[in-house]
Structure formats: C-alpha cells, structure tokens
Amino acid sequence: MNTPTPSPLAWNALALLDEATFCARLGPVVEHSPWVAREAWAARPFADWASLCDGLSRVIHGADEARQLALLRSHPELAGQEARAGTMTADSQSEQGRLGLLALDAATVQRIESLNRRYRERFGFPFIVALRLHGSLATVLQAGEARLANDALTERRNALQQVCEVMRGRLAQTVSPEPSPPPSPSVNTLAGTPS
C-alpha cells in the first residue's frame, strides 16, 4: 500500500536539518541509492535549489564506474517485473503510471519487453528514461530505440543523465525550490512606525 507523499520541505528548513534527517528526506530521490544524499550532505550549505540539485548530480557523475553501474542496475525496467509484482517504489509507480505503463495491452507489453531485453543485453543495465520529460509512451519508445545505437560509454553517460533528470523531478516534490517569504515586519499602529 502506498503512503501519501509528504508536503515538500520548505527551502528555508533544509539548512536546519541534521545529517540523518537530510538523508532520510532526500535519500529516496535517487532510486535505491541513499548514498547519493549522504555524500551530497558534505557539500552543504547549498545556495539555492539549483545548487542542491547540482550537488546531487555531481555525486552521481563523480562516482566510480562500479558504483554508477550499481546505481543504474537498481532502477526498475519500464513495465517490467517490479511493475507487474507491485514492488516498485511509489515514485516509480507514479512516474510509470502517468504514461499508462502499468496498464498496457499485450502488443505494447511485448514491444516494451523486447526493448528492455535488447537494451539490457547491450548495456548491462535497464533502459532508464525520465518519463516526466515525455508526453507520450510513443516518444519514450522512440528514445529507447535510438539509444540502442549508442556505444557503451555514451549510453552510460546518457543513462546517468536520465537518472539526474528523474532525481530533479523527485527533488522538486521533496524540497520546495522557493524560499518561504520572511515574516512581515510588525507595525506599531499607534506610533505609525515599525516596532
């Protein structure tokens, strides 16, 4: 059963979090890879939401190859076994559900299974795509077919960039990009001047 998504954390509150709370709140923005938030913690303070996002992205792109591959392999396939078993994270279910990947006809399932299999055989990790950047399943499938033509290094970089785009979308739901406005100064109505 899915639990409701908590309200985004106010930007101003982010700086007040201790390491454990920071990691607990931001750890899930990268699929099954809480180490990304843990390592980004060291780059604090973040000047703004974009620098927070960049900090998380730098951790991903700066990891060694083995860690990057482990991160990529932790992602579910599109409409894959995790989706059928209902074991994807709530974020992945929401993202795949938006384009109808959780309720496909048999012909589309076969097409996606073929893409998933060919991609995994070629690159050794699942086809990862930031679904929030696509308006239809057709463009997702076109992107997958096009990316099959890439060499291994190019595609690993592409896949990591797609992880960062997924993370960016999840981060926007986790931490409000805008700071809360400061409280209005109180006005002394008798004197007509601020108190």
Residue 150: DSSP 8-state: S
Per-residue pLDDT tens for 136-171? 999 999 999 999 999 999 999 999 999 999 999 999
141-161 residues labelled b (16+ CB within 10 A) or e (exposed): bebbeebeeeeeeebbebbbe
Question: Residue 94 corresponds to which amino acid?
Answer: S
Which tens digit of pLDDT belongs to each residue from 86-122? 888 999 989 888 888 888 999 999 999 999 999 999 9
Protein fold of 11-174: UraD-like (1.10.3330)
What pLDDT does residue 183 have? Answer: 56
The verdict on whether 134 is a catalytic residue reads no
Angle at CA 96, nearest 5°, toward 177 and 128?
A: 80
Per-residue confidence (pLDDT) for residue 68, from 0 to 100: 98
Show the DSSP H helices in the chain as ranges. 11-14, 19-26, 35-40, 49-62, 65-73, 81-85, 90-98, 106-123, 137-147, 152-174
CA atoms within a 13 Å half-sphere pointing along the CA-CB vector of 189: 0
Res 86: pLDDT: 84
Residue 5 has pLDDT above 80, yes or no: no
Residue 190 has pLDDT above 60, yes or no: no
* pLDDT over threshold 70, residue 194: no
pLDDT digits (tens, 9 = 90+) for 57-95: 999 999 999 999 999 999 999 998 888 888 889 999 898
Nearest to 67 by CA among 106, 121, 125: 125
Average pLDDT, the chain: 89
Residue 13: phi and psi, rounded to 5, are: -75, -20
Task: Give residue 120's pLDDT.
Answer: 97
Catalytic residue from among 32, 61, 75, 134: 75
